[in-house]
């Protein structure tokens, strides 16, 4: 049952449940928010409720054939579209979600909070951007115009609808007047990229970050993460389950130790250490490299919060707070300097995304970091 796998989000779950009960669910809706907030599992929960053949169960009975098929993402009246890249041997204009469906299904069944980046990385060896093309839009229109296979309803889920772009024009008529019994659920990260004309024809539900306690519970129960690590990962993730899971699954030393060690190497200009550190960084996979850099951004944010709002504003456990404070207390960073560091890390991340070798990115970045921190050395060595 998709409804039972949803992490937190009780409020929106209740609202949707009520609309389903009262039969007031809009025929076109947008669930907006980071993938880690759970837009997709919520969309699939709605689909399951709509397609269940035992109508007395509001969110689906979980027992009927229809519910099982939605659980496995193989219901003939549940249509799903998502961004793809060109498939080998097929022209891009002819490539659609169907060409990647088995892989997508496996990945979503494994983790419905999958991030868009992880998806694109799984299907593209290069830094190609995915999108939802014209053929996909035409397919959507065509299949929704057909009779439902099993019951009277059809559900179209469009995951990362951000990537429809102006092709969304094709869907305007469909969204305005869907065939009877048809529901369109757009899952998007941010409505900014979507056509205003499309948005205005849908009911938009903006998802909030997931509460910390719900994230901690799932990390501990489903992923066997130890309490302290689960708690720390939840705090850092700002309510994004994908992020929390990524943080929690990095083993050994905590990310904070890594980041502080790096700052220390740069601060004392230990070039030998920086070289070894860069080599080790180069051996991580792209996702781990990006996680480390994004964690660095979190640390910088924490330092700013500490400076401007006091220690209680820092979202870290007490031990980490102490480590952070003892490291930054002799750096005397100003808010402006932290902004410069922010830009540096953002630049490093974008190089990693463009597949510049991690070792080079890290070595260059470390030299810049050393320069920024160099005026800060009070007791070198
Ligand atoms: Zn059912």
Per-residue pLDDT of the chain (381 residues; tens, 9 = 90+): 999 999 999 999 999 999 998 889 999 999 999 999 999 999 999 999 999 998 766 788 999 999 999 999 999 999 999 999 998 888 989 999 999 999 999 999 999 999 988 898 889 876 567 899 999 999 999 999 998 888 889 999 999 999 998 999 999 999 999 999 999 999 999 999 899 999 999 999 999 999 999 999 999 999 999 888 898 889 888 899 998 998 887 754 567 888 888 998 898 888 999 999 999 898 887 878 888 898 888 888 888 888 888 888 887 777 788 888 888 777 778 888 889 999 999 999 999 988 899 999 999 999 999 988 876 544 433
Between the CA of 267 and the centroid of ligand 1 the distance, in Å, is 60
Between the CA of 18 and the centroid of ligand 1 the distance, in Å, is 17
Neighbour-count burial of 50, counting CB atoms closer than 10 A to its CB (0-12 exposed, 13-18 middle, 19+ buried): buried
Fold of the CATH domain 2-206: Rossmann fold (3.40.50)
How are beta strands 78-81 and 28-32 bridged, if at all? unpaired
The pLDDT score that the predictor gives to residue 381 is 34
| CA nearest neighbour of 130 among 97, 174, 107, 101 | 97
Between the CA of 26 and the centroid of ligand 1 the distance, in Å, is 21
Between the CA of 52 and the centroid of ligand 1 the distance, in Å, is 4
The pLDDT score that the predictor gives to residue 126 is 66
The pLDDT score that the predictor gives to residue 174 is 95
| Reported CATH class of domain 250-374 | mainly alpha
The residues, ordered by sequence, that sit 6+ positions from 315 with a Cβ below 8 Å of its Cβ are 235, 236, 238, 302, 305
CATH 3.40.50.300 spans which residues of the chain?
2-206
Q: Are 260 and 323 in contact (CB under 8 A)?
A: yes
Between the CA of 64 and the centroid of ligand 1 the distance, in Å, is 4
Between the CA of 88 and the centroid of ligand 1 the distance, in Å, is 38
Q: Got the DSSP string for 312-334?
A: GG--S-HHHHHHHHHHHTTT---
The pLDDT score that the predictor gives to residue 127 is 57
| CA nearest neighbour of 365 among 243, 265, 256 | 265
The pLDDT score that the predictor gives to residue 170 is 94
| Rounded distance between C-alpha atoms, residue 6 and residue 246, angstroms | 18
The pLDDT score that the predictor gives to residue 72 is 97
The SS3 assignment for 375 reads: coil
Between the CA of 255 and the centroid of ligand 1 the distance, in Å, is 43
Between the CA of 2 and the centroid of ligand 1 the distance, in Å, is 11
The pLDDT score that the predictor gives to residue 379 is 40
């Amino acid at each position: 049952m998709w409804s039972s796998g949803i992490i937190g989000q009780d409020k929106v779950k209740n609202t949707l449940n009520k609309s389903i009960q009262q039969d007031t669910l809009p025929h076109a809706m947008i669930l907006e928010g980071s993938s880690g907030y759970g837009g997709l599992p919520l969309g699939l929960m709605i689909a399951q409720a709509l397609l269940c053949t035992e109508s007395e169960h509001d969110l689906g009975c979980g027992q009927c054939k229809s519910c099982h098929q939605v659980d496995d993402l193989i219901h003939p009246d549940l249509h799903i579209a998502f961004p793809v890249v060109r498939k080998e041997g097929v022209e891009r204009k002819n490539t659609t979600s169907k060409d990647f469906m088995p892989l997508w299904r496996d990945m979503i069944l494994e983790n419905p909070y999958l991030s868009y980046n992880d998806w694109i990385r799984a299907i593209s060896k290069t830094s190609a951007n995915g999108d939802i093309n014209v053929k996909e839009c035409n397919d959507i229109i065509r299949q929704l115009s057909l009779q439902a296979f099993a019951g009277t309803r059809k559900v179209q889920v469009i995951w990362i609808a951000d990537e429809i772009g102006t092709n969304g024009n094709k869907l305007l008529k469909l969204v305005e007047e869907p065939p009877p019994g048809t529901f369109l659920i757009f899952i998007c990260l941010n409505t900014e990229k979507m056509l205003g004309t499309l948005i205005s024809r849908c009911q938009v539900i903006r998802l909030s970050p997931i509460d910390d306690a719900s994230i901690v519970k799932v990390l501990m129960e489903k992923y066997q993460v130890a309490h302290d690590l689960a708690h720390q990962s939840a705090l850092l993730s700002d309510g994004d389950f994908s992020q929390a899971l990524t943080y929690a699954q990095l083993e050994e030393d905590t990310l904070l130790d890594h980041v502080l060690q790096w700052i220390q190497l740069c601060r004392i200009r230990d070039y030998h250490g920086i070289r070894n550190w860069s080599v080790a960084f180069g051996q991580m996979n792209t996702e781990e490299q990006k996680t480390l850099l994004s964690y660095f951004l979190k640390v910088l944010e924490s330092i700013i919060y500490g400076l401007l709002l006091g220690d209680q504003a820092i979202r870290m456990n007490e031990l980490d707070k102490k480590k952070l404070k003892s490291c930054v207390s002799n750096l005397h960073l100003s808010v402006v300097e932290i902004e410069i560091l922010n830009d540096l890390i953002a630049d490093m991340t974008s190089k990693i995304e463009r597949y510049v070798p991690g070792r080079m990115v890290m070595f260059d970045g470390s030299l810049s970091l050393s320069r920024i921190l160099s005026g800060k050395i009070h007791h070198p060595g």
